[in-house]
Amino acid sequence: MTTPQESYDQLMARCKDLAVLRAANGIVYWDMETMMPPAGLELRSEQLALMDRVAHQMQVDPEFPRLLKRTEGRGSKGLTPEQQRNVRLARKAYDEESKLPEELVAAMSKHQAISVGAWKRAKAARDYSAFMPELQKMIELKERAATILMRVKGTRTPYDALLDLYEPGMTAEAIDKVFAQMRRGLLKIMKSIEDAPRPNTAFLSRKVGIPAQRRVSAEAMRFVGYQTAGPEAWGRIDETEHPFTGGYYDDVRITTHYYPDRFVSNLFSVLHESGHALYERGLPREWMYQPIGTACSYGIHESQSRFVENMIGRSPEFIEHITPFLKRQAPKALAGVGAETLFKAVNAVGPSKVRVEADEVTYGLHIIIRFELERDIFEHKVTVEELPEAWNEKYARYLGVRVRNDSEGVMQDTHWAGGSFGYFPSYALGNIYGGMFLKKMTKDVPGWRRSVGDGDLGPVRQWLAENIHSKGNLYDPAELVRTVTGERVRVQPFLDYLSAKVERVYGT
């Protein structure tokens, strides 16, 4: 009979096979978004469905639970804390995956490709009706899965089961309380500057050519430390409709989108995705292929991307550093524009219709809108047909803006097309986590701003690597935050950070 350690080693060998297959699945999806010819969509949907079906079969193989049982209970006594965490994560994955029918797993995977393709066409045509049938089917599939997972996870609602996929242990009720605090704080900040003169932002819409923007992308990646060239390269950058990051350890890829009349959009997109990439690359090498060798949660992942994009990228120190380079790439667009003017422009606060273009203050309201709509969808309070009207009404009420068409409204994001219901709250939670991390990092590394101003992200990157990236999936998100900062999750540090920045921008 095998010993618990031998059973553990066999279990980890199976986890490695799953990790390798899912990494390959991610590259196939990346190719679909970047390189695949349009006619390949149907074939690609079959390929993705087959890969997910095979992964499901590997996960629910009868030997998997037998190995788990031999490494649990008394069998876990000789295991290290890291090994015990691996067993717990493997158990959670098995318990959930084994309850999902294979045909449902394959159907969700196949429809994801079809639905995203339909979304792209419908968004380009500004025709929501063309997207509705695929969105309806996606919701039905996810609700079927969520109803099964609700019983496995022990959540109160199907939507809570979906939230747990992205942020373990999080519920809609808990998010509602956190978001209520965040909303009050954001509205207070907005109120404090409603009579203040708005910074000059007109120059941000001046035309900048794509070749120049690509050079800006390269400089942003160099600053962050995201390597895309040379024999040691572990990344690459491509173009997509909606930027994203994908990959695993030594192969982590990012994408961006170039807008000739919104050149800073690309800069912050690349910083954002590079933040994701640093996290994936920074996971402990010795944990590769193990359950703990993955990100803690999507909220923690977003904390890393938005930390690099906003807390570093929109800081006065980074803007001071990058302005001379930007002026060389876009001399006409930035004629007469200094670093302070650019800093104020990229941090100007004002309601907008598009989430990815939103400032840091109003961004949280965009997320609250999506969270409330997702919750209403799975509580059957809003139908697919009613979504555009519900969306537009919330944007008018929360942000005071009028949505002109569904492509800048309900179809602006790819997440629902891809079935990622429950993901959106991760963005705002990431901001909140980031506020706490920034407070702790400033205490630990008081000279980080000077280093960034000198063009050196090294001290920041090292702090993030030691305190967050190196922890992998050793803790659930709330526990990781407490381990890093010594505090429970709180909104106030993020609000304090925003208030200080807004005060500098507006002089209030």
Q: Domain ranges in the chain?
A: 4-154, 175-506
Nearest one of 166, 146, 154, 183 to 399, comparing CA atoms? 183
Q: pLDDT band at 242, cuts 50/70/90?
A: confident
The tokens describing 443, both together, are 């205490």
In eight-state DSSP terms, residue 197 is P
175-506 has CATH 1.10.1370.30 classification: yes
pLDDT of residue 76: 86
Whole-number Cα distances in Å, 14 to 92, 207, 472: 15, 52, 19
pLDDT of residue 508: 66
Is pLDDT above 90 for 2? no
What percent of the chain is modeled with pLDDT above 70? 100
Q: pLDDT band at 332, cuts 50/70/90?
A: very high
Is pLDDT above 90 for 241? no
Q: Average pLDDT for residues 149-156, to the nearest whole number?
A: 96
Q: Is 241 annotated as catalytic?
A: no
pLDDT of residue 73: 87
Q: pLDDT band at 214, cuts 50/70/90?
A: very high
Length of the chain in terms of residues written: 508
DSSP H helical ranges for 2-127? 4-34, 41-60, 63-70, 81-97, 102-125
**Interval 419-438: pLDDT, tens:** 999 999 999 999 999 999 99
Q: Do residues 253 and 236 make contact, with C-beta atoms less than 8 angstroms apart?
A: yes
- The catalytically annotated residue of 134, 167, 273, 374 is 273
pTM beyond 0.85? yes
Query: Per mean pLDDT, which range of 71-75, 118-122, 482-486 is the poorest?
Result: 71-75
pLDDT of residue 288: 98
Q: Which residue has the tokens 């998997």?
A: 64
Torsion of CA 221, 222, 224, 229, to 10 degrees: 70
Is pLDDT above 80 for 202? yes
The dihedral sign for the CA sequence 55, 254, 112, 41 = negative
